[in-house]
Amino acid sequence: MYTTMHHMLKMAKKERKGVGAFNIHALEVVPVMIRAAEELNAPVVLQASVSTAKYIGFDLLAAIVKNIADKASVEVALHLDHAKELKDIQDALEGGFSSVMIDGSYLSLDDNISITCKAVELAKRYGASVEAELGIVGRGKVINKYPYTNPKDAKIFVDKTGVDALAVGIGTHHGQYQAKTDISLSALSDIHAQVGIPLVLHGGTGVKEEDLADCISLGMHKLNFGTELNVSWVRKAKEIFNDAMPDDSIRELLIPCNEAMKRTIQNKIGLVRK
């Protein structure tokens, strides 16, 4: 069933479980991602960066996800990840996305609240859910120190914006897969004490598996994974395409790569649905 994040995160909070959110890197992987969730009877969020959504086409991507999701036995949401411009939010909503993220984490608290309120108002017109970010999740493969989200600011932000979910900085980093990050569970605990809505883990690939359960128990009910999916697909592709002949079927070459990604997705779903 095609739905927003709001209902599935509400249920995940009630069940004290997580919902896996997985980045779409190419249109080819969409059916595999939904099938991976179906086989484990788990809700799933498929998410696309602004650049990926523009590359595929907002409406084309949404139409394909919705078509498959409407026939699926589990809840599926299509989420726009890390949009910084309201125009991209608008394009996603008009195209049929069921959820959007407005990332004003680079702004002051007041400016972040302002742009987030505008995104929430836009999303309401389409019945879509909204995620925002407060504090900074590290970016790039070089580990730097980033400030943790201020718990008091988080409460003010949630109260004033009415978002469905909030991504917070606890020491995670995007794009990291060669090492694992030492996240601050104490910082997360302080944020959780102030905020009642579901929190979001970004940079899940770089988080130790044993820390995921603690993140969920401390309010993180949407857990994002992107880099690890791409890594598993590319590693298998290097192996498969290295031995391929020029007249081999493209479809047959892609299937093993998609299956490698599927195994990664199912491993993560198993960890967040314990």
Active site residues: 81
182 Cβ contact list (under 8 Å, min separation 6): 171
Q: Are 129 and 98 in contact (CB under 8 A)?
A: yes
Angle at 131 between CA 218 and CA 40, to 5 degrees: 65
Separation of alpha carbons 33 and 218, rounded Å: 27
Separation of alpha carbons 12 and 30, rounded Å: 23
The H-assigned helical ranges of 86-172 are 86-95, 109-126, 151-161
Q: Are 147 and 109 in contact (CB under 8 A)?
A: no
Separation of alpha carbons 218 and 207, rounded Å: 15
